[in-house]
Structure 1
């Protein structure tokens, strides 16, 4: 862990998650910057820009939450809604791999775009957001469910933490499209940036107390969900005020590192940072996995999959298509 100072290197690598602690405010949190990760995910699909922005924010939020895993496993964020975007899935595999996809109703989406309603909360509408921690085949899965009522992903995350941990938590997210031109080349490439910050109030925090993070499930007493069990104090009010000053462009500007923004916000309160972690796009689909899946189908089910003499399988996450001769599975 290191103290942030004014001589901190101004430019840090993108696609990283930076854990931090603010000693003077009893606050811990993480910041994420994503560039190539979200750009690669978006380039694998052909979504409208409004959907891309929602997807980029969802990937940033998932990275903030999934990076708290201290074991090999997955953190899965899944949206099921009645809105224009009816399915959104982001899959984070510890320690650093993420993939994502979206399903949407094109007619409903176009109607929202024509009406000028393109914010992420406009696209989501009403439904549920499910957060799942998958620790592997022989371990229990834990889930937390939050209702979507037309609010942003930031507010959904706030609701989740109040239900599951009863810890005051703030989340800020932003995403932006950038146009880049290579030197000596007239071609212009569309690139995406996503950024986010998550802070939690931990009044007993010290170097000797374990880091408390995302709880793997809902609060055991549903009658107390949404209630703050910790009385607000001046330190948390100051944290809320400081986080409230963050502008979207500060979260997605590649020239503003996480260290720089943390120093701007908290230089009077002793900000310290831990070792940063990388984030990258990686899909887990493969020939072996798909062949193993096909082996579980009955002969008549395989026959129903055959089109023009072959079986075509396309991964929803990365868009890669696989093609198979059906004979080995029909003969089994």
Structure 2
């Protein structure tokens, strides 16, 4: 079985670095029981890949959240990931997507907010990904180039079972090693096919693209889908309603049901659960 992984690599002779990403199990878990159409999966997958690539560069304990809110048919996209590469996410729509394609048609004026939480300093940093094209990957690539002040190339492929991505970054000393290296490496990367990103492991992909180059591949990290339950939080919310109102809801509906959108999980409370919640101390 193919494994989820993200691996850094370095062109030893050219001072060009990059990452290769494949998500299988984590992506399938994010999509489970969501029934997202293909065009929504594409946007959601591209944002998910971008989040993992960014989080793999975090040098402190923290969390990264990407959020898109807008007035288009897709009115909410959220991907949340921590420094251990534990991720989760959700997409919401407010109108049928039918055969719409492209970021402009699907997201409308939605802006992409990047929030970084540094748990060691308890500080938050926010920035926006500029929406300048109909291709979300091009806009994400532009953000990488602008935020790092280093030229970047980003390639992402998405299916209903897998996400594959290739990310290249030109380091400040690249031209001093080989003035043509960046153009050559970028040109070869642009020949990558979606099926190669989705199906080839990191070593095979890089060998196929760069068989004449010396590429150092670093140990892989394992991204994981992680969306823990929040039953205790829901119980606290129900207690805050008060016993009278909680039992009135129970009498009307037969049970109290709260849906966690991010995890796509239902927390259910019946009469026995309420008896325990409101049991005298």
Aligned Cα root-mean-square deviation (Å): 3.0
Structure 2 residue aligned with 1:200? 169
* 1:281-300 CA distance string (max 9 Å, x none): 110332123334556x5659
Structure 1 residue aligned with 2:196? 250
Change (3 A) 1:79 1:55: same
Structure 2 residue aligned with 1:77? 66
| Residues 1:47 and 2:30 are matched in the alignment | no
Structure 1 residue aligned with 2:261? 316
Change (3 A) 1:52 1:167: same
Q: Is the 8 A contact 1:243 1:265 kept in 2?
A: yes
1:148 aligns to what SS in structure 2? coil
Q: What is the distance in 1 between the residues matched to 2:236 and 2:18?
A: 40
TM value normalised by structure 2 = 0.84
Deviation at 1:71, TM superposition (A): 2.7
Structure 2 residue aligned with 1:58? 47
Structure 2 residue aligned with 1:224? none
Which blocks of at least 5 consecutive residues in structure 1 are unaligned? 1-11, 178-191, 206-231
Change (3 A) 1:289 1:85: same
Change (3 A) 1:246 1:120: farther
Structure 1 residue aligned with 2:219? 275
Q: What is the distance in 2 between the residues matched to 1:94 and 1:58?
A: 17
121-130 or 285-294, which deviates more: 285-294
Q: What is the distance in 1 between the residues matched to 2:234 and 2:242?
A: 16
Deviation at 1:318, TM superposition (A): 2.1
Deviation at 1:18, TM superposition (A): 0.9
44-53 or 93-102, which deviates more: 44-53
1:269 aligns to what SS in structure 2? coil
Matched ranges for 1:99-114 at <5 A: 99-107=88-96, 109-110=97-98, 113=99
Change (3 A) 1:243 1:294: farther
Q: 2:203 aligns with which of 255, 259, 282?
A: 259
Q: What is the distance in 2 between the residues matched to 1:23 and 1:122?
A: 42
Deviation at 1:44, TM superposition (A): 3.2
TM value normalised by structure 1 = 0.72
